Homo-oligomer: A and B are copies of this chain.
Amino acid sequence: MPAESLQIGLIGAGRIGQVHAASLASRIPAARMLMVADVVEDAAQACARQYGIPQAVRDYHALLANPQIEAVVICSATDTHAQIIAEAAQAGKHIFCEKPIALSLGAIDAALQAVEQAGVKLQVGFNRRFDANFRRVRDAVVRGEIGQPELLHIISRDPAPPPLAYIKASGGMFLDMTIHDFDMARFLIGSEVEEVYVAAGVIVDPAIGEAGDVDTAVILLKFANGTIGTIENSRRAVYGYDQRVEILGSAGAIRIDNNHPNTAVISTADSVHHDLPLNFFMTRYTESYVAELAAFVEAVLHDTAVLVSGQDARVPVVMGLAARMSYVEHRPVRVHDIPS
């Protein structure tokens, strides 16, 4: 156990909660989980057993009331994020919260205000910023390896649509799926998006349309620094999880490909082929989930700035709202025109 460690409470023991529990338990020596809370008490207890967490509770308020706990990791249902952030801030806990904070700007702003008043740190779970591929692209831009960015293209496709129940509660594809790409666009280019235009449709599954959402979209972005970007989204790429980026700059270009489980190339009488890319975001982004939490623990322990701020959480939601408006009104929409 390192001399310095951070005492953590985990709120939410579902899928992503367990991912973070595993990282905290075994990959981040400076982190120490003291409690886990889940509205399904069995889930909390199972998680505690699995990852050696001393205490499991149903109500996260018990966790916030524990004076030993210095920071919380919020993995509960999306519609509880803003409320828990505010309460955790008031309790003086540093906060790591899964994205998004909320789907309405009012709720986000209330949460961010509570954080600011409490003076605690808040990091939001845009894990892709910590992925080796995306980070390499950002590094190339920062170091000037490709000169000034001019064109950005993001491909972001899921292997298959989520259940309809999920889609109905998701806030729509722009706030559920594209939000990661909006964050990536700002992060990679290092400039804000001023205008969006969206072409979208229901191509994959009519039921998604009946649920009020789209399943395929292209979002055109104009950045303050002149870069023009596009995001390609689809709820279905039958060959797997497709996550690529390409930037053209004044002095060159950089692109990243998908991660594959191995480098094997097999040649037969029919074709030269590779295995499919890593299919699921948890295998594809495994290391980035560890890295984001490690960075959060580090930022709290050494009192440095978090790498994904509350503002970084807010802006992609504004972009998502602008995208939705562009789609509905069938016109380019300025991001500044979205009311708070």
Chain A interface residues toward B at CB < 8 A? 1, 25-27, 29, 52, 132-133, 135-137, 140, 145-147, 150-151, 153, 155, 157, 197, 199-201, 203-204, 216-218, 220, 222, 226, 228-230, 232, 234, 236-240, 242, 248, 250-277, 330-332
Contact = CB atoms under 8 A, between A and B. Distances in A.
A295 to B, nearest CB: 18
Contact of A150 (B29, B203, B240): B203
18 contacts: A133-B263, A135-B262, A137-B264, A146-B268, A151-B216, A153-B153, A153-B232, A197-B199, A218-B228, A218-B229, A230-B232, A239-B268, A253-B266, A256-B264, A257-B263, A271-B275, A271-B276, A331-B332
Contacts of A248: 157, 232, 234, 237
B259 A254 contact: no
Nearest to A246: B155
A251 B151 CA distance: 29
Given A228-B199, A252-B238, A271 B269 contact: no
A241 to B, nearest CB: 12
Given A150-B216, A203-B250, A252-B269, 19 more contacts: A133-B262, A140-B266, A145-B266, A146-B268, A153-B230, A197-B197, A204-B250, A216-B228, A218-B220, A237-B248, A238-B252, A239-B269, A252-B267, A253-B266, A256-B263, A260-B272, A269-B276, A271-B276, A330-B332
Contacts of A1: 52
Nearest to A272: B274
A219 B47 CA distance: 50
A151 B255 contact: no
A151 B232 contact: yes
Contacts of A265: 254-257
Nearest to A195: B199
Chain B CB count within 10 A is highest, among A204, A242, A267, for: A267
Contacts of A266: 140, 145-146, 252-254
Contacts of A217: 228
Contacts of A197: 197, 199, 220, 332
Contacts of A261: 132, 136
